[in-house]
A and B are shown apart, each in its own frame.
Chain A
Amino acid sequence: GAVVSQHPSRVICKSGTSVKIECRSLDFQATTMFWYRQFPKQSLMLMATSNEGSKATYEQGVEKDKFLINHASLTLSTLTVTSAHPEDSSFYICSARKTGLAGGLNIQYFGAGTRLSVL
C-alpha cells in the first residue's frame, strides 16, 4: 500500500494566528513530499516541493515566509501557515512520492486534505 495521512482534516482559526498541517507517509519512505492548494472548482496548484533534510523549493508566487515547510524525516513533512488571513482560507493537500521506484516512475500518493478557514 501507499497511505498518506494528513492532519488535521479541518481547522478554523482567527486571523493572525499560525496553523500547522502535518503530512505523514504511513507505510513507505518519502524523500520528497509536495504541498498543493486547491480553490473551489479549480485544479490543484503546486505550492512547494518538500525535500527531506534540505530546504523546500517554492513555486513562483508562493511566499516562503508565509508558508513554512519542514521535512524533518523520511515520513513527515509539515506546512505552517503563518499569520493566517482570510485569503489563506483554502483546501491544502499534501502528497508523497515513493522513494526508489524503478524506471523513474513519479506516482504521488495524496493525503485527504485540510480545509483551512480563517475568520
Chain B
Amino acid sequence: DQQVKQNSPSLSVQEGRISILNCDYTNSMFDYFLWYKKYPAEGPTFLISISSIKDKNEDGRFTVFLNKSAKHLSLHIVPSQPGDSAVYFCAASVISGTASKLTFGTGTRLQVTL
C-alpha cells in the first residue's frame, strides 16, 4: 500500500524553465512533508519542507505547495539548472513530538537539458 505516490517517474525540462514535481498522499494523518534530492550512489539531501498549517513555503528557487483537501503537494524549481538533474523524493510524516517515521514516494527523475 503506497501511501505516498509520485506518479511521474521522470521529467525533462529545459534550462531556465520551471520544473514542477508532483506528489500525492492517501493518509490524512500526515501533517509534515519534505522534499529530498538524490544523486546516484548518494544519500538523499534535504531540500525543503512544509507543515500542514501552511499551503506554501519558499526557499530561493524552490517552492513547495500543499493542497490538503486534494492530498497533493508539488515542488516548483525556477529557474531550473543543469545541476538540478537528480531524483526527487517527496516524504510525509505524522508529527507526534517524538521521532516520526518518514514515508517516501517512489521518486521522480528530473533531467534539466541545455
Contact = CB atoms under 8 A, between A and B. Distances in A.
Interface of A: 2, 4, 6, 31-32, 34, 42-44, 46, 49, 51, 91, 93-95, 97, 103-113, 115
Interface of B: 32, 34, 36, 41-46, 49, 51, 89, 93, 95-97, 99-107
Contacts of A42: 106
A110 B44 contact: yes
Contacts of B95: 104-106
B102 A108 contact: yes
Contacts of B51: 103
Contacts of B42: 112-113
Given A105-B32, A105-B49, A113-B43, A44 B100 contact: no
Nearest to B106: A43
B101 A49 contact: yes
Contacts of A110: 36, 43-46
A93 B31 CA distance: 24
A106 B99 contact: yes
Contacts of A49: 99, 101
Nearest to A4: B43
A107 B49 CA distance: 8
B23 to A, nearest CB: 12
